[in-house]
A and B are shown apart, each in its own frame.
Chain A
Amino acid sequence: MLIANPTRRSFLQAGAALLASTALPAIALAESAPAGGRLVVAADSEPKNLNPAIVASNGVFFVASKVIEPLAEAAFAGEDGLSPRLATSWEGSDDGLSVTFRLREGVTWHDGKPFTSADVAFSALEVWKPLQNLGRIVFAHLEAVETPDAATAIFRFSRPTPLQLIRNALPVVSSVIPKHLYEGTNIATNPANTQLVGTGPFRFAEYKPGEYYRLTRNEAYWDKEQPKLDEIIFRVLPDRAGAGAALEAEEIQLAAFSAVPLADLDRISKVPGLAVVTRGYEALTYQLVVEINHRRKELADLKVRQAIAHAIDKTFVVDTIFLGYAEAATGPVPKNAPQFYEADVPAYAFDVAKANALLDEAGYAKDANGRRFTLKLRPAPYFNETRQFGDYLRQALAAIGIDAELVNADSAAHQKAVYTDHDFDLAVAPPVFRGDPAISTTILVQSGIPAGVGFSNQGGYANAELDAVIAKAAETIDTAARTALYRQFQKLVAADLPLINVAEWGFITVARDSVLNVASNPRWAVSNWADTALKT
């Protein structure tokens, strides 16, 4: 079970007013929800490639998940935390070398062609495994996909691949694209990557660059009750203040992914007709992480890393930077992934005196100006909060005699400097926990990753023991054993601090009261919105 509301503690702290204004979203039963209407939603970016089978990122899913469906979606309630979409059931073999998917029947593509197991086989072998940023890890050992009939796909692996991993990864990595449109073409440049064709509840109708994406109701959707909405429009609002203003002016009805700045939520929650919703991101946990370049002599010293960990006031980070809409982190797996989360790890309480003592011990005495050494700190530019944490970290480090020089760069420059050129001492990164540590978490600390891979261990950290645990977990089929290995992984990371996990946060949705069934699953913002409806 996933924790439904990771920020309840924070709410209670933040006081009654906030609590009242962030009431749970209205949930209407699917059958009783009114049909029809146009939902206008804020979008802050325009992905150049909208194909979720190739680009498994939240920016793409936000729009594309309504058109192209995965085999299964995350669910608050349901076996393994999943609800079936294009697959109705899945079963792994005991040796971990195959997984059998039963596929939904009677599904058609938006162009009228029937959906079959051939599409799944094509997507898995031609797209997910070779082209997709996350699929290449999950399906690394996928050898073949057998299609005994139109409704069955059997995945064959060359080496044991845990079913737990596959299950946890399904919502993210398994978007199925139509074979008949992609076969024999250059998949990376296929026009269908921008003019999406899928099986989902909405058809891709129109894209006006710089203005909007328009999706229309798929009359032939396999669930006859759905979708409820006639139309979804993603309105491009690049300015951070734009979404809040547009919501208040009733030009849009919903802004997801914290498009309304956290600092403005208190005010906007008091605007009549608007609701602040914190649910619906439980499976989309972002982690606030300090990446460390272990090539720096000082940072290669565990005492220095511990000192830095002690210098960070996580309460301040959660309460002031995230205004309570976050949780303090203890290790590399977030609390709202309870199947893996290990609470019993070394903790680093906020203790400036202890941090100073550790640095003295490590032999880095303060000079006449109270400085020990200077570091280059690169906060990732993607979020307000990563930048603000950069500002905070500089001050926190100053308190223990470390002079941090902030380097601001745009996304491309940051990416290159940190993940290719290693031109950093400390960096602030917002990696995503994607339901299983093997998908995008272990890569953050594992050694031997070539330069140039984004959101990976580029700090030169190498720990044979940790690598061994990661490798073993990757091919452990037994769920309990595998989980135990990941608990050990968390302990090792927290003890040796290859990086410092500071906080975990989900996003906030602000919607008008009239929008129903907001946050109906833990990946709601990037799910298909088939049950979302508008009160008339």
Chain B
Amino acid sequence: MKLVGDMLRRPEAAAGLAILVLLALLALLAPVLFPGDPLKIAGRALTAPFTDPAFPLGTDRLGRDVLAGIVHGARTSLFVGLAAALAALAIGLSVGLAAGFAGGIADEALMRVVDAFQIVPSFLLALAFVSVVGASVPVVVLAIALGAWADPARLTRAEVLSVRGRDYVAAARIAGMHPVEIALREILPNVLPPVLALSAIIVATAILTEAALSFLGLGDPNVVTWGSMIAEGRNVLRSSPFLSIFPGLALVATVVGVYLLSEGLTNALAGEASVERKKPRRVGKSPPLPCRASPPQGGRSASGGNPAQPEAPEVGETALHPISPLEGEMPGRAEGGAGAESDRPARRGQEDLLCETQDLSVTYRDQETPALTNLDLAIRAGERLAIIGESGSGKSTFARALAGLLPEGAEVEGTVDWAAGAAPLAGRDLGFVLQDPSASLNPVLTIGEQVAEGARRHLGLSWPEARARALDMLERVRLPEPEKLLAAYPHQLSGGQRQRVAIAAALAARPGLVIADEPTSALDMVVQAEIVALLDDLVRGAGMTLVFITHDIALAAGFADRVAIFKDGALVETGPAAAVLAAPRETYTKMLVASHRDLASPPLVGEIRA
């Protein structure tokens, strides 16, 4: 199973598994290592540990070998843990499947029983059950399972309800498959992974519960368990602490092992989900991007792009801002010509050059192939550059590399030269708009706060001032009733409105450069066009530079000055939008253009703006 491999690559899971394998081996080999009854009175009572080679860990109150007890105890403790989890799982899965499948009154009734078991403290239940029925291993197992099955039942039911409506299950139903068969073949495989992660917790809880029950004198006296050893030892905790420390350590180690394994399993499950979404696994501290100052400016090299140290590249402030303040005077834009011949303009004399990458390669952690290879690309101040490519072409990686937002562990080679001398500071010099507006806004903070926070930080405003700025920005992005919106939450807005908010937030601190990473692909067609038009307007109005990343060549064609075509992490070709689209040089570009023509989509943006 892929999941297992994925899980074992995680150190915590590997460590947990190592502990458990060792314990399992001990448990399996116990009859060989220590033949006979571990409860046999074998030597002098209370032999201290490390004094008698026959009893390396000493003997207990009656003269039983502590080491033999611990090794044999592993059998009981692991058995109790596993059996209780299995029993809980069996009950939970059946009830959950039954309830989820049956629905209606049966579901309602079953869930009330589940509720009942969930609100009764499970230790109290186990305590009562064992005291009343009598302490033996099967009873303890059952008692623990009775207190633990409700969670898997609830989880299973929820999973069943969520999968029940899916196509393949519906299809199986229509095909006349028996519900039990559907449950076993279609639903169980979906339900099992999360339930397994839960059952690891049940194993750990079961082992601890058994120990606590034994501590209260409710253990099975016919077998040796760590719990009963600790309970025996507690009477002499002061004089012979080893009697409870050794089994205690074994217990802690086991529980730690189980937790580690469960954590690995949970993370592997989460990881699998994130792989499906093709998102970087973890966004944390990113490595400094190697930046090289442009010789003419004679600036200094600075390690930018690390949001953890936003204070670092202060030098860039004066250098970058004058180029394109949002409300500032609009400097001349590089129209057409300049980029027509080469994408590597000579550095000297190119006054409008904003940034240039050389041999830029990015490799994500744990990845063999780089996401971006040897990329050379220049961005000119004030232009609107569209980066076009299909998913996996490295266009988003490029955007994040520019913004210094690469995930932790990403390896970067090559250089990014900024005309200003230092990398722009995200938020202040560079605004970034993400693809999915419903994910890029914090669900629990108000719109006002989320738009204002960037402005407050970078423009040195007080909160009221920043709020006023936010109000202004919301007006600029043409959102209705901006005053009300300040206090609203993201979930109260439509997708298009949310993206407007995101744009407002990205531009609130008046950055000179805006990078929009597929800002419209999560939106429907009409809204897409509106958002592009808005961005275009804002950028034009303020003379900002726009890097627009999209897979939609038609969209780009409508407003970009220049396009850059990406494929498989490399640049295919670049040039003025009109030129490239009219006469693509590379086959891939031709194909892209052709496929677009085949669809016969009109240049949406152009029409709307017209």
Contacts and interface: CB of A to CB of B under 8 A. Distances in A.
Q: Do chains A and B touch in the complex (CB under 8 A)?
A: yes
B601 interface: no
Nearest to B45: A320
B134 A407 contact: yes
B128 to A, nearest CB: 11
B484 interface: no
Nearest to B235: A261
Interface stretch (B214-222, B529-537, B565-573): B214-222
A408 B217 CA distance: 9
Contacts of B234: 240-241
Nearest to A320: B45
Contacts of A261: 235-236
Interface in B435-460: none
B41 A395 contact: yes
A388 interface: yes
Interface in B206-232: 217-222
Contacts of B153: none
B217 A413 contact: no
Contacts of A207: none
Interface stretch (A118-126, A161-169, A263-271): A263-271
Interface string B33-69: 0000101110001100000000000000111000000
A387 B220 CA distance: 12
B239 A320 contact: no
A379 B134 CA distance: 13
Contact of A406 (B37, B41, B46, B222): B222
Nearest to A321: B62
A241 B236 CA distance: 9
Contacts of B41: 316, 392, 395
Nearest to B217: A381
Contacts of A390: 221
Give the most central of A379, A408, A413: most B CB within 10 Å: A408
Interface in B55-90: 61-63
A264 B62 contact: no
A248 to B, nearest CB: 9
A263 B61 contact: yes
Contacts of B235: 240-241, 261, 263-264, 384
Given A406-B222, A407-B134, A263 B239 contact: yes
Nearest to B237: A241
A371 interface: no
B272 to A, nearest CB: 46
B2 interface: no
Interface in B127-160: 131-132, 134-136
B166 interface: no
Interface string A165-200: 000000000000000000000000000000000000
A381 B237 CA distance: 21
Contacts of B62: 320-321, 388, 391-392
- Tell me the dominant secondary structure on chain B's binding face: loop
A322 to B, nearest CB: 11
A405 to B, nearest CB: 6
Contacts of A392: 41, 62
A465 interface: no
Nearest to B221: A406
Nearest to B240: A263
B238 interface: yes
Contacts of B37: 395, 398
Interface string A396-417: 0010000001111110010000
A372 interface: no
Contacts of B236: 261, 263-264
Contacts, number: 71
A41 B122 CA distance: 35
Nearest to A414: B134
A102 interface: no
Contacts of B61: 263, 320, 388
Interface string A143-177: 00000000000000000000000000000000000
A391 B39 contact: yes
Interface string A404-446: 0111111001000000000000000000000000000000000
A261 B235 CA distance: 6
A289 to B, nearest CB: 19
B238 A320 contact: no
B34 to A, nearest CB: 15
Nearest to B236: A263
A405 B134 CA distance: 13
B40 A395 contact: yes
Nearest to A404: B222
B238 A267 contact: yes
Contacts of B218: 408, 410
B223 to A, nearest CB: 10
Contact of B222 (A240, A316, A388, A405): A405
A394 B40 CA distance: 9
Contacts of B219: 408
Nearest to A265: B239
Contacts of A263: 46, 61, 235-236, 239-240
A405 B136 CA distance: 11
Contacts of A387: 217, 221
A43 B237 CA distance: 21
Contacts of A316: 41
Contacts of A405: 222
A392 B39 CA distance: 9
A237 to B, nearest CB: 14
B348 to A, nearest CB: 84
A410 B127 CA distance: 11
Interface in A373-387: 379, 381, 384, 387
A316 B136 CA distance: 27
Given A264-B236, A264-B238, A388-B62, 11 more contacts: A241-B235, A261-B236, A263-B46, A320-B61, A320-B63, A321-B62, A391-B39, A406-B221, A408-B134, A409-B134, A410-B131
11 contacts: A240-B235, A263-B46, A263-B61, A264-B239, A320-B62, A388-B61, A388-B62, A398-B37, A407-B221, A408-B134, A408-B217
The 3 closest A-B pairs by CB, nearest first: A406-B221, A261-B235, A267-B239
